[in-house]
Structure 1
Amino acid sequence: MRDTLQQNPKVKYVVIAVALAIHAIAGTGLANMQGITLKKPEPPKPLEITLTTPPAVEPEPIKNDIVEPVKPVEPPKPKVQPKPAEPTPPKPKPLPEPVKPKPLPPPKPVVKEIKPPPEPVKPIKPIEPKPPEPVKPPEKIIKTEPVVDNQKQFEIQRQAEEVKRKAEEAERKRQADEADAKRRADEAERKRQAEADAKRRADEAERKRQAEADAKRRADEAEADAKRKAQNNAPVNVSASEAVWVKQPRFDLKDIGAENGETLTASVKLSVNKQGAITSADIAKSTGYPKADRLIKQQVKTGKLKPFMRDGQPVVGNVTVPFSINVN
């Protein structure tokens, strides 16, 4: 056919004209077709359900007869709408470009699900016990050692000896390292002990030197105290206002030649030690009665003065004290 069209161009032009005419007729028919108006589906009516009690049906005994399976019902084939008859083609007129209507989807066929019939109940066969299987004796496992030639055996032995030699060398090195580490630790311990001993001896020498310094300081302090005490033993002249009696002396002047009730005045120079006791007395101003002066020198020692102080230390003092004595 293709060769014929290529050889006769007139036939080719006729075929093209026929095809164009057919397309024009089909377009005109589609343009003049009335559209199908789709009705709005009515809402579904509510279902009315009435509950009824079915009559009791006795179960029929199951027969061992084989029930023939029910053939499934074939679903109805969907009806195919007939194609509209083609109208008589009118004379072609110049028409505007036809608007192609959207094709409507074909209606889906309603297929009802048909449940297959229940399978017939097969009779239960009794289970026959199986005879015990015979126990097979355990098979003996025979170990087979591979045959190794002498050269391979010698190589394996040499490698084992090499591994053993390296292990022994590593062990000897480990022991040597441990001994060296222990020796260094012992040397460090001895050095630390020597340093501790040297520090202890230095501390002892320092304590001894400190003790000697303390002893010398105490000796110096004792010597200075002795000197100070020696200096304090030198009598110091004090005024009569510093003389404070701790115990007043008691005078008893009798048969001295003076009249009874006469008042005698005298001044006495006293030497007082560090405890305030009177060690000696001399008449600095006489009463005019020698016997009275002797009695005053003796009886004045019955009194005691408060120690005289210099720089916070008691000292030996000389003081001249006036007395007024009534003659009984």
Structure 2
Amino acid sequence: MTRKLYTKPDVNTVSSLLTNIKSIGANSLLVTMFALFTMIASTMPARAELIDLSESEPVTQVPTNNVSWVKMPRFRIEPHCINTMSNGTKLNILLDVSVDKQGKITDVKIKKSSGSSCLDRSAIQQVKYGQMKPFMTKGKAVRARFSLPIRYVVP
């Protein structure tokens, strides 16, 4: 009886074996790098710095009669907001307006609604198109806030 000492393997078997070995090697390398990174990160002390994001300068409450416009908004009733209102109806809205040191309007909020959400949104948008003169305190421009009453009369 003769015995073969060497058998030539199939080419497809060899290539699939090499592909599997390569993928196992890549995965092992990734796992090893992740473990190394984790060990290094856990041994280094964390460095953090607290940053105060709040504005250090207070906002000055300004009376409405001290308000001075560079560019006055056009307060008008949008036609789509008055479809259900009768002529002569008076609607009042009170807005809270915030202004930065340069006179730019930064925020507008409703203090007292007119009762019409459409009209309230329209009034806020109209005020945002305005530009204020900077508010001055002791010769220095300051951030300010004021109440702005608006009265609309339905034509």
Q: TM-score, normalised by structure 1?
A: 0.28
The structure with more strand, counted as a fraction of residues:
2
Cα distance in 2 for partners of 1:233, 1:254 equals 41
* 2:124 counterpart SS class: helix
Q: Cα deviations across residues 290-322 of structure 1 (Å, max 9, x unaligned)? A: 111111111111112221111100000011111
For the pair 1:283 / 2:110, whether they are aligned, the reply is yes
The 3 A distance-change label for structure 1 pair 326 and 232 is farther
Percent of paired sites with the same residue = 36
- Show the counterpart of 1:304: 131
- Show the counterpart of 2:9: none
- Show the counterpart of 2:120: 293
What does residue range 266-277 of structure 1 map to in structure 2 within 5 Å? Answer: 266-277=93-104
* 1:249 counterpart SS class: coil
- Show the counterpart of 1:238: 62
The 3 A distance-change label for structure 1 pair 292 and 235 is same
The 3 A distance-change label for structure 1 pair 246 and 261 is farther
* 1:255 counterpart SS class: helix
- For these two proteins, the number of residue pairs brought into alignment is 99
* 2:86 counterpart SS class: coil
Higher relative CO (CA 8 A, sep ≥ 6), structure 1 or 2? 2
The 3 A distance-change label for structure 1 pair 232 and 306 is farther
Q: CA deviation at 1:237?
A: 1.3
Contact kept, 8 Å, 1:232 with 1:316, in 2: the verdict is no
Q: CA deviation at 1:251?
A: 3.0
- Show the counterpart of 1:115: none
Cα distance in 2 for partners of 1:239, 1:326 equals 24
- Show the counterpart of 1:254: 79
- Show the counterpart of 1:319: 146
Unaligned runs of 5+ in 2: 1-53
Q: Cα deviations across residues 24-79 of structure 1 (Å, max 9, x unaligned)? A: xxxxxxxxxxxxxxxxxxxxxxxxxxxxxxxxxxxxxxxxxxxxxxxxxxxxxxxx
What does residue range 7-26 of structure 1 map to in structure 2 within 5 Å? Answer: none
Q: CA deviation at 1:235?
A: 1.6
Contact kept, 8 Å, 1:250 with 1:299, in 2: the verdict is yes
Give the AA of the match of 2:68. Answer: V
Unaligned runs of 5+ in 1: 1-229
Q: Cα deviations across residues 181-230 of structure 1 (Å, max 9, x unaligned)? A: xxxxxxxxxxxxxxxxxxxxxxxxxxxxxxxxxxxxxxxxxxxxxxxxx9
Q: CA deviation at 1:233?
A: 4.3
What does residue range 182-201 of structure 1 map to in structure 2 within 5 Å? Answer: none
Cα RMSD of the aligned pairs, angstroms, is: 2.2
Give the AA of the match of 1:237. Answer: Q
Q: TM-score, normalised by structure 2?
A: 0.56
Cα distance in 2 for partners of 1:304, 1:233 equals 21
Structure whose alpha-carbon radius of gyration is higher = 1
Contact kept, 8 Å, 1:267 with 1:321, in 2: the verdict is yes
Cα distance in 2 for partners of 1:232, 1:245 equals 26
Q: CA deviation at 1:270?
A: 0.1
256-265 or 276-285: which moved more? 256-265
Give the AA of the match of 1:234. Answer: P
The structure with more helix, counted as a fraction of residues:
1
Which 4+ runs in 1 deviate beyond 4 A?
230-233
Q: CA deviation at 1:260?
A: 4.0
Give the AA of the match of 2:79. Answer: K
Give the AA of the match of 2:80. Answer: D
